[in-house]
Amino acid sequence: DNPTLVNNVETLANVPHILREGPDWLRATGTVDSPGTMVFTVCGDVQREGVFELPLGSPLRSLVEEAGGGAQEGRTIKAIFPGASNTVMVPQELDTPMDFDSMREVGSGLGAGGFAVFDDSACMVQAAYRYSRFLSVESCGQCPACKFGTGEATEALATLESGRGSERDIELVLVRSRSSTDGQKCALPTGESLLMQSLVQVFDEEFRRHIGADCPLPRELPFHKIVDRDRSGRFVYDVDYVHRQPDWTYA
Ligand code: SF4
């Protein structure tokens, strides 16, 4: 029953318009339960990376294929990560409306509206490693299952990607990512659990092809930590992030 202040810039930017025009101004776009617009980000293997304001409830396809221009010439979209905190999405889900309920209904989530796209030249084990490492490094360490679980899942992914992995490493990714939420004080390990388990399930065959074998798709992937845009408008990613350590120092 208490009033709630949501001190998020995107939310607060709507307030003057709602006060001036009334709530119908917000409800003129979006869905009944997710009214208004949202600022979405699309990055990675699309022709036009960028930030786009779209009505909530717009299909994911409108962001990835219309605003983002779809995959590069000759490539096809393989996977879409809705940030680092939700389950992976596949091209068959591109018609999913980008609103909170619809994304939940397909087992994923809208999060902050950021989507990283991977095409068919991207290795899902390497992508899993980069995102798991991010969550492991950023885990603050208050909860042992979170810090150690994300760390062990990340190590298993690195072993698999190096070609020295075994069936046990795939099991480790599943078990450690799942248990990383034990005693959690915040939602960070929920992202590890959802994203890693979904990647192993959806790309099971690709994970198994890494057992004792070189990566079949060795293209170096960035971690999508955006720090700038270049002259062509593409995002610039933090190349120093690979040096950030679990104790938050830079090696
Ligand atoms: S669950 Fe949250 S509070 Fe606990 S260690 Fe992980 S990041 Fe820190």
Same domain, 115 and 128: no
Domain assignment present for residue 233? The answer is: no
Among the listed residues 117, 118, 109, 135, the one whose alpha carbon sits nearest the alpha carbon of residue 196: 135
Question: Can you read off the two tokens belonging to residue 14?
Answer: 């709507």
Residue listed under structure tokens 């617009």: 37
CA distances from 220 to 115, 152, 162, 166 (A): 19, 22, 13, 22
Same domain, 78 and 140: no
How many H-runs (helices) and E-runs (strands) does the chain carry? Answer: 10, 6
C-alpha 184 – ligand 1 centre gap (Å): 6
C-alpha 191 – ligand 1 centre gap (Å): 11
Torsion of CA 64, 67, 70, 72, to 10 degrees: -130
Provide the domain count of the chain: 2
Same domain, 98 and 22: yes
C-alpha 142 – ligand 1 centre gap (Å): 6
Asked whether the predicted pLDDT for residue 8 surpasses 90, the reply is: no
CA angle, 112 as apex, 111 and 117 as ends, to 5°?
A: 85
Same domain, 15 and 112: yes
pLDDT digits (tens, 9 = 90+) for 159-214: 999 999 999 999 999 999 999 999 999 999 999 999 999 999 999 999 999 999 99
CATH of the domain at 64: 3.10.20.600
Same domain, 134 and 62: no
What pLDDT does residue 146 have? 98
CATH of the domain at 158: 1.20.1440.230
Same domain, 62 and 137: no
Query: Is the minimum distance from the CB of 90 to ligand 1 under 6 angstroms?
Result: no
Query: Is the minimum distance from the CB of 188 to ligand 1 under 6 angstroms?
Result: yes
Among the listed residues 95, 82, 99, the one whose alpha carbon sits nearest the alpha carbon of residue 29: 99
Query: Is the minimum distance from the CB of 77 to ligand 1 under 6 angstroms?
Result: no
d(CA 60, CA 210): 30
Domain assignment present for residue 136? The answer is: yes
Asked whether the predicted pLDDT for residue 17 surpasses 80, the reply is: yes
What pLDDT does residue 7 have? 79
Residue of minimum CA distance from atom 4 in ligand 1: 143
Q: Range of 90's domain?
A: 9-119
- Its ipTM equals 0.99
Model confidence at 140, in pLDDT bands (50, 70, 90)? very high
Domain assignment present for residue 247? The answer is: no
Residue of minimum CA distance from atom 3 in ligand 1: 185
Domain assignment present for residue 94? The answer is: yes
pLDDT digits (tens, 9 = 90+) for 43-98: 999 999 999 999 999 999 999 999 999 999 999 999 999 999 999 999 999 999 99
d(CA 27, CA 36): 6
